[in-house]
């Protein structure tokens, strides 16, 4: 039985039309009928309920349809993986990262990878987390880098760096000279927050909730650069990953104060589509980034 036959049956079941299935597969209607007849003879069972006025599958037909869809999906994954391996000679890895990770935590790893694998072309875009997940699932990128990675049955997550969260303020702020601070003090000052739809915002909100700290943000932004600029002019304080403010700390335009309550961190992750085939270049890239246990990386 050919893959094409399984596809024709699925099209027939979904379109509920012999003529529609014939047109979609560019064959005659009688050819569709013949294919169906051959399948029913092979399994010695009816797949189409011919006693109904409207088109319908028998119980066996439903079972066969679901099996065909599974086989076709696996075959498509095989073809995709095979094409990926064939194209591996091009030595290209397409990646996408949220801006704060791509411009800060990821940079040193990129330099090291390029040094170790100069033959590989690394194409990295900076996108929103939503766009990264979408492109990954559509197969438009090989790997993504996000903050607070979400659980998904279709995505494999590898731990990346845990970024320390600190209180950030301008150099003239009352907190600027403190060596540490109680997180409870945050609620008494104007707070500049990440936008509500961002995973980092949700993570920080949960952190504040854990300590029964209530803040009312005076401003909310969807990117770390804008938050830094607002805090720099002493319009408020914020909680941010320390990795994102290294330049400002060096220039003295921002101050970072650790919390006395404990070590707070923002988790980040490397994400790939589950069950995808990884060539040696992509595997090496992820092994370099995923430090806890690179032996867990498998095809």
pLDDT value for 85 = 64
pLDDT value for 298 = 40
pLDDT value for 1 = 72
pLDDT value for 121 = 87
Query: Phi/psi class of residue 254: alpha, beta or left (left: φ > 0; alpha: ψ in -120 to 50)?
Result: beta
pLDDT value for 87 = 58
pLDDT value for 217 = 93
pLDDT value for 275 = 77
pLDDT value for 90 = 53
pLDDT value for 299 = 37
What are the extents of the domains in the chain? Answer: 3-86, 161-266
Q: Got the DSSP string for the chain?
A: --HHHHHHHHHHHHHT-HHHHHHHTTS-HHHHHHHHHHHHHHHTS--B-TTSSS--B-HHHHHHHHHHHHHHHHHHHHHHHHHHHHGGGG-EEEEEE-HHIIIIITHHHHHHHHHH-TT-EEEEEE--HHHHHHHHHTTS-SEEEEESPPP-TTEEEEEEEEEEEEEEE-TTSTTTT-S-B-GGGGGGS-EEEE-TTSHHHHHHHHHHHHTT----EEEEESSHHHHHHHHHTTS-BEEEEGGGGHHHHHHTS-EEE-BTT---EEEEEEEEETT----HHHHHHHHHH--S-GGG---
- CATH of range 3-86; options 3.40.630.10, 1.10.3720.10, 1.10.10.10, 2.60.120.260: 1.10.10.10
Query: Tens of pLDDT along the chain (299 residues)?
Result: 789 999 999 999 999 999 999 998 889 999 999 999 999 999 999 999 888 778 889 999 999 999 999 999 888 888 877 776 665 545 789 999 999 999 888 999 999 998 998 888 889 999 999 999 999 988 889 999 999 998 888 899 999 999 999 999 999 999 999 999 999 999 999 999 999 989 999 999 999 999 999 998 999 999 899 999 999 987 799 999 999 999 999 999 999 999 999 999 999 999 999 877 777 888 889 999 885 444 444 43
Among candidate residues 232, 233, 231, 187, the one with its CA nearest the CA of residue 212: 187
Among candidate residues 20, 9, 2, 8, the one with its CA nearest the CA of residue 58: 9
Domains 3-86 and 161-266 share a fold: no
pLDDT value for 86 = 63
Please identify, in words, the CATH class of the domain defined by 161-266. alpha beta
pLDDT value for 88 = 54
């Amino acid at each position: 039985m050919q893959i094409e036959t399984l596809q024709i049956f699925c099209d027939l079941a979904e379109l509920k039309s012999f003529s529609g299935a014939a047109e979609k597969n560019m064959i005659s209607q009688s050819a569709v009928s013949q294919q169906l007849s051959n399948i029913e003879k092979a399994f010695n069972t009816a797949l189409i309920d011919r006693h109904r006025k409207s088109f319908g599958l028998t119980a066996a037909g439903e079972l066969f349809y679901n099996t065909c869809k599974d086989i076709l999906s696996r075959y498509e994954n095989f073809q995709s993986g095979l094409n990926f391996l064939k194209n591996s000679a091009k030595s290209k890895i397409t990646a996408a990262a949220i801006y704060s990770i791509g411009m800060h935590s990821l940079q040193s790893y990129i330099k090291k990878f390029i040094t170790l694998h100069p033959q590989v072309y690394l194409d990295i875009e900076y996108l929103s987390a939503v766009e990264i997940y979408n492109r990954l699932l559509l197969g438009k990128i090989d790997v993504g880098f996000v903050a607070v990675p979400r659980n998904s049955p279709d995505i494999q997550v590898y731990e990346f760096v845990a970024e320390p969260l600190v209180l950030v303020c301008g150099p003239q702020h009352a907190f600027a000279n403190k060596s540490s601070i109680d997180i409870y003090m945050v609620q008494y000052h104007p707070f500049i927050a990440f936008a509500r739809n961002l995973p980092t915002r949700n993570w920080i909100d949960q952190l504040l909730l854990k300590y029964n700290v209530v803040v009312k943000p005076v401003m909310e932004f969807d990117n770390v650069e804008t938050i830094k600029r607002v805090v720099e002019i002493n319009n408020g304080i914020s909680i941010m990953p320390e990795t994102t403010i290294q330049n400002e700390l060096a220039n003295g335009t921002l101050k970072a104060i650790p919390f006395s309550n404990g070590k707070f961190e923002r988790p980040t992750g490397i994400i790939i589509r589950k069950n995808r085939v990884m060539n040696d270049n992509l595997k090496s890239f992820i092994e370099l980034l995923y430090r806890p246990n690179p032996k867990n990386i498998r095809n």
